Structure 1
Amino acid sequence: MENKFPFKFLKFKLMNHPTTNHPLEYIEKHKAVCALLLNNNESKTLLVNQFRPGANNNIYEIPAGLIDPGEEADTAVYREILEETGYEKESLELLYKSNTPLLVSPGYTTESLYFYIFKLNKENITPKPLSLDESEDLITSWHKLDNDFFANKTDLKSYFAYLLYLSLKNKEL
């Protein structure tokens, strides 16, 4: 099934189920990266607020983005963090990275995410100006990591990254 719309990142596909031969629709999408970015004492995380068409609203979420063709996940995550937050690789300490991407919703899309957790090397680092893609219009803000962290945050990757961080902090993984 060919794309009927000039989509840049999504390809609509059709395949037959391997045992029932029933037609299955799905969306093919590039792999992506996302990062929970913590301040130096790990009491806050930096979130981006931007419009998301799936929510038809602005939402707070962790920085994330697509991996460009031929690009490695590690390169993509540092590029996305710099673009969306202004923090350079040298300002970050890697706390966790997933070795394989996790499928977002395998029932209808190939989209998968590599998860990363970073903290700033020191508390008073001044970020560089944002270098946003032409389709991006976002602002960043620091949010406390407490029981109210989930208030006003609606996307699964941000929830999961936070719970992953708590699990690692408590050495449950």
Structure 2
Amino acid sequence: MSSQSAKVLKNRAMEHGEAKWIQLRAIEWRDPSGKERKWEAADRTTRNGDVDAVAICAIITRPSSEPHILLISQFRPPVAASVIEMPAGLIDAGEEGDDGTRRAALRELEEETGYGTTNEGGQVDVLETSAIMVNDPGLSGANMKLCVVRINLADDAAEPVAKPEEGEFIEKHLVPLKQLYRTLKDFEKKGYAVDARLAHLAVGLELASPQGMFKI
């Protein structure tokens, strides 16, 4: 079942007070010149602590192959397209601080891809947990942290089975890390949308590589 087979059936403006998961805010602020201004923003209503969500940059290594980055695709109704992105999810109550973020990251990773806390024939290490990062600061106060996860697997380790929640239709993709930029271009040609944060990572890898697409 491909996420690209999903489609939007109706798209309309919501009435005031109808939204369940987000809220609109009217912000009054003063700019550096002293002039008072107004801004409109949208926030999640699901935040339990300081952070809304966690994204996971998961690198899969096996002795006989180059490192791969673990990506997913799923249909995103706001953009009416299946989107290639890193695994991610909301942080639940009780998952505060860096330790809580790491637990959330491994939980979401296992739900969405099967990789995570119970891999057989391998080892899972959280290498980095970022500070709080803002997602789309011109539109929303939504934020997240990023966890970098390394998963070392034996060559004969079985492909794990995802444990999605009801209503989740997620596909996983293992992409050679050095080919991320080119592979995302290929996904675009196949009709997928690409998450901007993932695209930024791909461009950064190309800029850092002497063999990359960009010659600075």
Q: So what's the TM-score if we normalise by structure 2?
A: 0.65
1:12 paired residue among 11, 24, 36: 24
Structure with max Cα Rg: 2
Question: Match for residue 83 of structure 1?
Answer: 111
Counterparts of 1:128 and 1:140 in 2: how far apart (Å)? 11
Partner SS, residue 89 of structure 2: strand
CA contact (8 A) 1:48 1:139 kept: yes
What is the CA RMSD across the aligned residues, in angstroms?
Answer: 2.9
Counterparts of 1:166 and 1:80 in 2: how far apart (Å)? 28
Give the CA deviation at 1:169: 9.8
Give the CA deviation at 1:85: 0.9
Q: How many residues are aligned here?
A: 167
Structure 1 counterpart of 2:197, one-letter code: K
What are the Cα deviations for residues 47-106 of structure 1, in whole angstroms up to 9, with x where unaligned?
1111012321112211011112342322211111011011123631223321x1211111
Partner SS, residue 136 of structure 1: coil
CA contact (8 A) 2:102 2:147 kept: no
Structure 1 counterpart of 2:111, one-letter code: E
Deviates more, 1:52-61 or 1:36-45: 36-45
1:36 paired residue among 26, 42, 57: 57
Structure 1's 69 and 102: CA in aligned 2 closer, same or farther, altered over 3 A? same
Structure 1's 26 and 161: CA in aligned 2 closer, same or farther, altered over 3 A? same
Give the CA deviation at 1:40: 0.9
Question: Match for residue 143 of structure 1?
Answer: 175
The structure, 1 or 2, with the larger RCO (C-alpha pairs under 8 Å, 6+ apart) is 1
Structure 2 counterpart of 1:131, one-letter code: K
Unaligned ranges ≥5, structure 1: none
Q: How does 1:97-112 map to 2 (within 5 A)?
A: 97-98=129-130, 100-112=131-143
Misfit runs of 4+, over 6 Å: 164-170
Counterparts of 2:203 and 2:38 in 1: how far apart (Å)? 36
Question: Match for residue 88 of structure 2?
Answer: 64
Q: So what's the TM-score if we normalise by structure 1?
A: 0.79
Structure 2 counterpart of 1:96, one-letter code: E
Give the CA deviation at 1:137: 0.8
